[in-house]
Amino acid sequence: MKLLAHKLPVLMLALAGALVGTQASAETKPTAETHPFHQCSSCHSMDTSANAFGPSLIGVYGRKAGTVPRFAYSEAVQKSGIVWDEDNLRKWISGNDTFIPGTRMRHVAVTDKKQQDDLIDFLKALR
Ligand code: HEC
C-alpha cells in the first residue's frame, strides 16, 4: 500500500500530461503514449526501490550522476562528475551518448524543446 501511495502522484502527473496533450493537438491520438516519458519507462522503473534495466529515476533531479546504490553504471557515467540539473538533463535527453560518450544507456534524442521541457518537469516531480 505504501508503494502504491507513493506512485499515485506520478500516475496523476502522467495522466495530467496526457490530458494537456489532448487539448494541445486534436489530430494526434490522445493516449498515455503521447507523454514523452513513454520513451524511457521501458528501462526506468517508477518504483523508488527498484532498478530496472536503467537506474531508478526517483529523486534524479539534483542528484550526482551514477550514484544509485546497487546499480551497475558505466564507468563513463560514474566518472562524469556531473549533477543532474536542468541543463545537464537537457543535454542528456537530446543526445546522451554525445554528452557522455561510453554510456550504457541506449541512444535517445528528444530534440523538441517542448518535449524536453515536459520531460524535465516530469523528472523534477519524481520524488
Ligand atoms: C534502453 C534502456 C533505456 C532507455 C530507453 C532510457 N534509459 Fe536512461 N539509462 C539507462 C541505463 C542503462 C542507464 C545507466 C547508464 C550508464 O551507466 O552509462 C541510464 C541512465 C539514465 C540517467 C542517469 C541516472 C543516474 O543515476 O545518474 C538518466 C537521468 C536517464 N537515464 C534518463 C532517461 C530518460 C529521461 C529517458 C527517456 C528519454 C531514458 N533515460 C531512456 C537505460 C535506458
Determine, yes or no, domain membership for 8.
no
Q: What pLDDT shows up at residue 32?
A: 58
Whether 53 maps to a domain, the answer reads yes
Q: Which of 39, 6, 1, 22 is nearest to 115 (CA)?
A: 39
The range of the structural domain enclosing residue 98 comes to 38-124
| 1 falls within a domain | no
- Residue 118 domain-assigned (yes or no): yes
> Does 26 fall in a domain?
no
For the record, the C-alpha cell of 75 comes out as 564507468
Residue with the smallest CA separation from ligand 1 atom 18 is: 103
Counted domains in the chain:
1
Q: Is residue 94 part of a domain?
A: yes
Pocket of ligand 1 (CB under 6 A): 39-40, 42-44, 53-55, 57, 60, 65-66, 68, 73-74, 76-77, 84, 92-93, 103-106, 108, 110, 119
- C-alpha 21 – ligand 1 centre gap (Å): 24
Task: Flag whether 12 is in a domain.
Answer: no
Could you tell which of 34, 35, 39, 43 is best to mutate to test the pocket of ligand 1, judged by most ligand atoms within 8 Å of the CB?
43
Positions in the chain whose pLDDT score sits under 70: 1-33, 48
Measure the CA angle with vertex 26, ends 110 and 22; round to 5°.
65
Mapped to the 3 state alphabet, what secondary structure does the chain carry?
Answer: CHHHHHHHHHHHHHHHHHHHHHHHCCCCCCCHHHCHHHHCCCCCCCCCCCCCCCCCCCCCCCCECCCCCCCCCCHHHHCCCCECCHHHHHHHHHHHHHHCCCCCCCCCCCCCHHHHHHHHHHHHCCC
Residue 33 within any structural domain of the chain = no
Give residue 41 CA to ligand 1 midpoint distance, Å: 10
CATH number at residue 101: 1.10.760.10
